[in-house]
Amino acid sequence: MTKHSKVLASLAVVSATLLLATVAALTANDSRAAFEGVWRTVDVVVPGPTHQQTFRPGATLAIFHGRHYSRVEVHAEGARPVLKDPAAASADELRAAWGPFVGEAGTFELSGKNVVTMQAIVAKNPAAMINGATSVYTYERNGDTLTLTQVRTHLGPSPAPVTIKLVRVE
């Protein structure tokens, strides 16, 4: 092999390596781009032993940026009661006002084929913050709609996977 041929072969290997690295980086960015933005939950489907329950939550907001997410949701179709005096409220009144509220923020990681793993750093539910507590979802992006289907938690596979449909706000 001549010196010129060796140089051309080396350049070809370097070019191929750079091309593969660029494609891998663009693919990772495309996956992350599927999540980037502000979303509103429009449907939550919870399968049950005899039938599935679909509800349309009230106020919701989910923000995905970089590796972090934040979400707040009201898991009720109607308005939550306003507490006149929280210090004097009964347990039932507190549950009615605060029970449907979900709030958490943390990190997310994309892997495999359309898989997202979420780890809460702070949450209303303390169980979501224990070390190793994760939720794993498959996802599908179709235009401005993102559908998440829970496949497992840190406790194991989800026997009745919940499906969440979100619509892009911005």
State the average pLDDT over residues 163-169.
Answer: 92
Q: State residue 9's pLDDT score.
A: 34
72-84 pLDDT per residue, tens: 888 776 788 999 9
State the average pLDDT over residues 63-72.
Answer: 93
Asked whether the predicted pLDDT for residue 143 surpasses 60, the reply is: yes
97-134 pLDDT per residue, tens: 988 888 999 999 999 889 999 999 999 999 999 998 99
Which residue, 137, 112, 145, is CA-closest to 27?
Answer: 112
Instruction: Compute the C-alpha angle 67/147/151, nearest 5°.
Output: 80
